[in-house]
Amino acid sequence: MLDLRINGDRLWNTIMMIGRVGKEDGGVSRLALNDADGEARDLFTGWLKEEGLDIRVDQIGNIFGVRKGIDPQLKPVMMGSHLDTVKMAGLFDGALGVISGLEVIRFLNQNGVETRRPLVVAAFTNEEGARFQPDMMGSMVYTGKLDVDEAWSATDDDGVTVRDELNRLGYLGKDEVEAGCYLELHVEQGPVLHMEGTEIGVVDGVQGMAWWDGYYMGESNHAGTTPLNLRRDALLGAADLCVSLREVAKNLGRASVATMGRLHPQPDVRNVIPGGAYFTLDFRQYEDALYEEGQRTVSNLVEEVASKHGLEKSLTQTVDAKPVRFDSMMVDLVERKAAELQLSYKRMHSGAGHDAQFMSYICPTAMIFVPSIDGRSHCPEERTTKTACINGANVLLNCVVKLSNDQSF
Ligand SMILES: [Zn+2]
């Protein structure tokens, strides 16, 4: 029987090649649909063509390379991730999943392996949301969770729209591609696997994520003449909220995390008591009940802290992405294949959002994680070893070959 192990050097060299696109000052900046992202897309589609795949591009610019199956009636096995990055990113976030999908195809072609189901390698548009919001835009549109007109009209800081950029780069398509199931290999972007020396993360879901935009309004006044007890300092309230938020997450427990990521005092002047403070809140939790409880607790806290400091508040929830559980057949398969390859593994859920979470709404889905050295990601120091990339791609290959002959879904 054929030894199902990908070509590690070819995988690694291809990751390095795509990693040179958009590299500046030591980091990679392929913000969605910028010139570098366009160049990476062209490079990737060129490689898909070399493998004889049928290239399809949908209306939001997602790229699909389709390899025919023996039975055209069966829905394809899709694998993929994204090629866009944040500013000053590393080489692996997203690229690993896309290039590993390509490597699976290269391996099967080289060894003349046919599969019953068609296979699809996908590169989703704007997963990061660093230039256009929302993030995971391509997979949201693909799965019907975001209207394409809304996505097209999203603008960057210069007022350029997604649609204009898709057009400019030649990726405003019309094609439609089905998915029977979806697998995404990704770096963990957290410290757990590396810390424990575990080779494969068998990802069974994604934690829920709630975002709010908030504003505290007090009173601006003279920093020298206004006694402390007569102040309504919005920044002080927001600072109190920031500290209390951490306590709330700690008390909720079960790996709850909460973050105030932005805080802008107004008027932002050295000798004026801030009369306003704009802030954002982020809360995450994997368990459904605790996720709901956490959202209530956070919004109550914003109210309590406001009244403690004599402030008015406004609070708008902008994201309520409930926890996602991946398909147990798919998760079990990833675990089994990791075991068969004699790799150490553990079940875990993802702390970050991924295209896979939207794909899970339309088809059986799972993810494979490999260790991020020191848990670093979204920075030039993001590293994953060559061996870890190869391990992940081998699990992907073995799962894909199994799924491509499974007629049960
Ligand atoms: Zn990613």
**Residue 124 to residue 162: CA distance in whole angstroms:** 14
- Per-residue pLDDT, averaged over 184-190, amounts to 97
Q: Tell me the pTM.
A: 0.89
Please, what is the average pLDDT of the chain? 97
Note the residue count of the chain: 409
Task: Find the 184 Cα to ligand 1 centroid distance in Å.
Answer: 10
Residues 124, 142 contacting (CB under 8 angstroms): yes
pLDDT for the residue numbered 25: 86
Q: What phi-psi label fits residue 224: left (phi over 0), alpha (psi between -120 and 50 degrees) or beta? A: alpha
Task: Find the 290 Cα to ligand 1 centroid distance in Å.
Answer: 26
Residues 404, 79 contacting (CB under 8 angstroms): no
Task: Find the 189 Cα to ligand 1 centroid distance in Å.
Answer: 9
* pLDDT tens-place string over residues 234-251: 999 999 999 999 999 999
Task: Find the 349 Cα to ligand 1 centroid distance in Å.
Answer: 15
Contacts of 257 (CB under 8 A, 6+ apart): 249, 283, 284, 285, 351
The amino acid sitting at 241 is: L
Task: Find the 232 Cα to ligand 1 centroid distance in Å.
Answer: 42
pLDDT for the residue numbered 359: 98
For residue 149, count CB atoms less than 10 angstroms from its CB and return exposed for 0-12, middle for 13-18, buried for 19 or more: exposed
- Percentage above 90 pLDDT, the chain: 97
pLDDT range class, residue 338, cuts 50, 70, 90: very high
Residue 1, pLDDT > 70, answer no
* pLDDT tens-place string over residues 208-224: 999 999 999 999 999 99
Residues 32, 130 contacting (CB under 8 angstroms): yes
Task: Find the 238 Cα to ligand 1 centroid distance in Å.
Answer: 31
Task: Find the 326 Cα to ligand 1 centroid distance in Å.
Answer: 17
Task: Find the 141 Cα to ligand 1 centroid distance in Å.
Answer: 17
Task: Find the 126 Cα to ligand 1 centroid distance in Å.
Answer: 10
Task: Find the 371 Cα to ligand 1 centroid distance in Å.
Answer: 14
Residue 316, pLDDT > 70, answer yes
SS (H, E, C) 200-223: EEEEEEECEEEEEEEEEECCCEEC
Task: Find the 355 Cα to ligand 1 centroid distance in Å.
Answer: 8
pLDDT range class, residue 83, cuts 50, 70, 90: very high
For residue 169, count CB atoms less than 10 angstroms from its CB and return exposed for 0-12, middle for 13-18, buried for 19 or more: middle
- Per-residue pLDDT, averaged over 58-69, amounts to 98
- Per-residue pLDDT, averaged over 137-147, amounts to 97
Q: Which helix (H) or strand (E) holds 185?
A: strand 181-187
Residues 41, 152 contacting (CB under 8 angstroms): no
- Per-residue pLDDT, averaged over 167-180, amounts to 98
For 107, phi then psi, to 5°, come to -60, -50
Task: Find the 378 Cα to ligand 1 centroid distance in Å.
Answer: 9
Secondary structure E strands in 218-364: 221-222, 257-266, 272-273, 276-285, 312-321, 324-325, 345-350
pLDDT range class, residue 409, cuts 50, 70, 90: confident
Task: Output the CA–CA distances (angstroms, integers) from residue 202 to 206, 333, 349, in the order listed.
Answer: 12, 9, 8
Tokens of 169: 């780069």
Residue with tokens 């030894």: 3
Determine how β-strand 63-67 pairs with β-strand 119-124.
Answer: antiparallel
- Per-residue pLDDT, averaged over 256-268, amounts to 97
Residue 373, pLDDT > 70, answer yes
Task: Find the 263 Cα to ligand 1 centroid distance in Å.
Answer: 26
Residue 356, pLDDT > 80, answer yes
Can you state the angle between helices 35-50 and 162-169, rounded to 10 degrees? 50
Q: Does residue 106 sit in helix, strand or coil?
A: helix
DSSP 161: B
Task: Find the 301 Cα to ligand 1 centroid distance in Å.
Answer: 32
- Per-residue pLDDT, averaged over 83-100, amounts to 97
pLDDT for the residue numbered 127: 97
pLDDT for the residue numbered 202: 98
Q: Does residue 242 sit in helix, strand or coil?
A: helix
